Amino acid sequence: MGIALDIYRICRETVRAHDGGRLQSVRVAIGELAAVEPELLAFAWEAALAGEEDAGAELRIDWCPALQQCASCGEVKERAPGSWLRLCPDCGQPLQVSGGDELDVLEVTFAQEEPSSEEDPPLAAEEAR
């Protein structure tokens, strides 16, 4: 929940720095080793925005797996999601883990209302008909 609130704070700061508007979506990167469960974060995000001016804004998560790379042959080794290799399946040497600690706000999308003077005339014209 704290993480959702932090993400939302960054979104609001970003929108405010660009003359305001209503948040539509935010794209975040979550690494496999960030100890953040995407589904729980999505749930917390909804709860964090409930009752706020941006309620309903979408949280888009880029999942970033950690890489297991062989120290000996240098290749990044394939593995099933959520499972780990103990040793390099090809040369039996130890593997190095890299990446997967992402917890970043990447991109904020928001909508600014058109100035009302431009929006009103067509409506008024419609009503007059």
Partner 1 sequence: MKQVVTVRRRALEASETRAESLRQRFAEAGTLVLNLISSPGSGKTTLLEATVRRLASDHPCAVIEGDVATERDADRLRALGVPAHQILTGGACHLDARQVGAALDQARLLPADILFIENVGNLICPTTYDLGEDFKVALLSVTEGDDKPFKYPAIFARAAVTVLTKIDLLPHLPFDVPAVEEQLRSLNPEGIILQTSAITGEGIDAWCGLLTERLTTKRKRV
Enumerate binding residues for partner 1 (CB under 8 A).
2-3, 6-7, 9-10, 14, 18, 21, 24, 28, 32-36, 66, 68, 71, 83-87, 94-97, 100-101, 103-112, 114
**In the complex with partner 1, which residue's Cβ is closer, 78 or 127?**
78
CB of 45 to partner 1, least distance (A): 11
**In the complex with partner 1, which residue's Cβ is closer, 46 or 101?**
101
- Placement of tokens 């005339």 in the chain: 121
**In the complex with partner 1, which residue's Cβ is closer, 24 or 42?**
24
Sign of CA dihedral 112, 116, 117, 123: positive
Question: Could you tell me if 66 and 98 are in contact, meaning their C-beta atoms sit under 8 angstroms apart?
Answer: yes
CB of 125 to partner 1, least distance (A): 22
Question: Could you tell me if 23 and 57 are in contact, meaning their C-beta atoms sit under 8 angstroms apart?
Answer: yes
**In the complex with partner 1, which residue's Cβ is closer, 115 or 127?**
115
Amino acid identity, residue 27? Answer: R
Sign of CA dihedral 85, 88, 33, 26: negative
